[in-house]
């Protein structure tokens, strides 16, 4: 019996414009559903990926016209999980200076996007540096 081949990654590049978020949500939801994710897990994934893309749209390309600059989303299906990476080639930032949300009153500060991503996903990491773009890596494991 031949070992199961890993699923190939699914990649999508969109312009940095919010009108493309629906396409990202559809792709991520479709990949997760194909892997057997529950409705709630699919919804969590869509929200987390939307937040990561929205952060890129709002902050990665300051001073540029909407639609210029790309945001790349890669979905890597695994056994019982989905790994997602959202990358931009924008201005980057120092993650240590990102707004830290007070969990007791998250509405009082900015930074809710990263807060939500970390709450909804099983793993979440942000790698960025000024002038070097940003990569948000997330993992969602599916209950069986």
pLDDT at 90: 92
Q: Is residue 20 part of a domain?
A: yes
Instruction: Decide if 56 is inside a domain.
Output: yes
- pLDDT of 104 reads 56
Strand order in the sheet with 70-78: 10-15, 70-78, 81-88, 134-141, 123-128
pTM exceeds 0.85 for this model: yes
DSSP string covering 118-135: HHHSSEEEEEE-TTS-EE
CATH of the domain at 103: 3.30.565.10
| Residue 137 is assigned to a structural domain of this protein | yes
pLDDT band at 7 (very low <50, low <70, confident <90, very high): confident
User: What's CA 91's distance to the chain center, in Å?
Assistant: 17
Is there a domain that residue 5 lies in?
A: no
Into how many domains does the chain fold? Answer: 1
pLDDT confidence band for 103 (50 / 70 / 90):
low
The tens digit of pLDDT for each residue in 48-81 reads 999 999 999 999 988 776 767 899 999 999 999 9
Q: Decide if 48 is inside a domain.
A: yes
pLDDT of 97 higher than 80:
no
Tell me, yes or no, whether 1 lies in a domain: no
Q: Is 4 inside any structural domain?
A: no
Residue 102 clears pLDDT 80, i.e. is over it: no
Q: Which domain holds residue 15?
A: 10-141
Residue 3 lies inside a defined structural domain of this protein? no
């Amino acid at each position: 019996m031949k070992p199961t081949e890993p699923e190939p990654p699914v990649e999508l590049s969109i312009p940095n414009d919010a009108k493309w978020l629906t396409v990202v949500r559809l792709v991520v939801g479709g990949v997760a559903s194909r892997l057997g994710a529950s409705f709630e897990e699919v919804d969590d994934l869509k929200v987390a990926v939307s937040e990561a893309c929205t952060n890129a749209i709002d902050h990665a390309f300051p001073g540029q016209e909407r639609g210029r600059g790309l945001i790349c989303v890669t979905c890597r299906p695994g056994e019982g999980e989905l790994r997602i990476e959202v990358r931009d080639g924008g201005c980057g930032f120092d993650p240590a200076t990102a707004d830290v949300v007070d969990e007791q009153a998250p509405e009082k500060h900015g930074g809710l996007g990263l807060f939500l991503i970390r709450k909804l996903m099983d793993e979440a990491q942000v790698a960025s540096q000024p002038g070097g773009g940003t990569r948000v890596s997330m993992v969602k494991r599916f209950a069986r």
